Amino acid sequence: MKVLVDADACPVKNIIIELCSTKNIPVILFVDTSHIISSPQCQVITVDKGRDSVDIALMNKTLKNDIVVTQDYGVAAMALGRGAHAINEKGLIYTNENIDMLLFQRHMGQKARRAGKRVSVTKKRTLEDDIKFKNSFLKLIDKYFNFV
């Protein structure tokens, strides 16, 4: 089991690496060539720029019971379909029970934007957001990774 991160715009990479290194959980960061990331504590896979190139590379490495960290509902849905677990940067754990509604909300937001309507603005990240992510991520790790 491992943690796979859609790392292009992920604000919690350092938290993930820190928590996983203390528990000896492998981490793989996926980025495209417009982002330069290096870390001795994890593997970094760099793919060509392109729509969904990071998402496809990440899904090709995802196995049952892995944890996928992504802001993309589509990637989360595919991860769940493979029997993996998924969480976003705010600590929301994606489940088979909530993913359909999230995908529907994304669709409606896209439809509204195409019609010229203004959709909510993303709020600035806070320390509380980091704490919420850390707590949710630790719950996932503790629930699905068996430590000896």
Torsion angle of C-alpha atoms 91, 95, 98, 103, degrees rounded to 10:
90
Residue position matching structure tokens 């029997």: 83
Q: Residues 3-42: pLDDT tens digits?
A: 999 998 899 999 999 999 999 999 999 999 888 888 889 9
Number of neighbours of residue 137 by Cβ within 10 angstroms: 22
CATH topology (fold) of 3-95+126-144 = Rossmann fold (3.40.50)
pLDDT band at 116 (very low <50, low <70, confident <90, very high): confident
Give the predicted TM-score (pTM) of the model: 0.85
pLDDT band at 76 (very low <50, low <70, confident <90, very high): very high
Domain ranges of the chain: 3-95+126-144
